[in-house]
Structure 1
């Protein structure tokens, strides 16, 4: 969860196998550039191109986030042409697991999976439920298999309020 220019973004990643492949490929130009730098005594254009490619791929990789607007959920992906806005009132159900959330709406009738870390997922779900346009349901599917982090969070919050 990052707040930039007053807008809160909740970052997500693709499936673990795709994330590993993408991040491995995005780190490759940096290592090639470092190898070229080590082999040559001067800095050449190829080294700059490799580092610029590395920075570009890192920027694209971090460009996956949700943003809750007034009545829409903006879903940004690494492909800038595949970003979409869906109406919050069209979301019928959100399944929450330890690793991901699955959003069911008119745009995703069979559901779409978004992998998120624990705290951005928790804050995203809280902010989405507090939105007056949200009329769907939240389902915790495997919250009792491992540690129930929602209960853990609320117990810590209750202790801090007292």
Structure 2
């Protein structure tokens, strides 16, 4: 959760297998460049190309987040073309929450799964629950395997407020 220009961003990651594959590909150019640099006494120009490729892939890797807008729209920012860019908050029927995932089920039958860490997910759910357009339900699953995560929701008696 990061606040930039007055908007709060809630970061998410893709599925774990895609996450491992992507970051392995993203980190590979810097290691290839460093190993090639170790073999030479001068700095070849393709080392800079590999370093630039590394910087581009890392910046793309962190470009996944949610923004809850004031007009009842949940904006999903990602370079994945299969994920919608804007979701009406009123069209969300149910949100299933597990220890590592958040599944959005829409009124038209579509569902999308996002992997989030514990605290951004908690703040995202709190902000979404107090949104006046949200009429869906939040279902906590997986409560017998990772009990400590769900205890946070039970013990926190503070009423969520809109930021």
Shared fold (TM-score greater than 0.5)?
yes
- Choose 80-89 or 55-64, whichever is displaced more: 80-89
**Partners in 2 of 1:97 and 1:146 — Cα distance?**
9
Partner of 2:20: 20
- Residue 147 (structure 2) pairs with residue 147 (structure 1): yes
Correspondence for 1:49 = 49
User: What value does the CA root-mean-square deviation take over the aligned residues?
Assistant: 2.0
Q: Do structure 1's residue 84 and structure 2's residue 85 form an aligned pair?
A: yes
Structure-1-length-normalised TM-score:
0.88
Evaluate the alpha carbon distance shift between residue 128 and residue 78 of structure 1 in structure 2; reply closer, same or farther with a 3 A threshold: same
Is 1:36 the counterpart of 2:36 in the alignment?
A: yes
Cα distance, 1:37–1:81 mapped onto 2, change above 3 Å: farther
Q: CA deviation at 1:63?
A: 0.6
* Alpha-carbon shift at residue 39 of structure 1 (Å): 1.2
Quote how far apart the aligned CAs of 1:153 are.
5.6
**1:95 and 2:118 aligned:** no
Q: TM-score, normalised by structure 2?
A: 0.88
Where do 5+ consecutive residues of structure 2 fail to align? Answer: 159-163
| Whole-angstrom distance in 1 between the partners of 2:51 and 2:107 | 41
Q: Structure 1: which 5+ residue stretches go unaligned?
A: none
**What is the CA–CA distance in structure 2 between the aligned matches of 1:144 and 1:13, rounded to whole Å?**
24
May I ask how many residue pairs the two structures share in their alignment? 157
Q: For 1:141 and 1:120, locate their aligned partners in 2 and report how far apart those are by CA, in whole Å.
A: 18
Deviates more, 1:46-55 or 1:71-80: 71-80
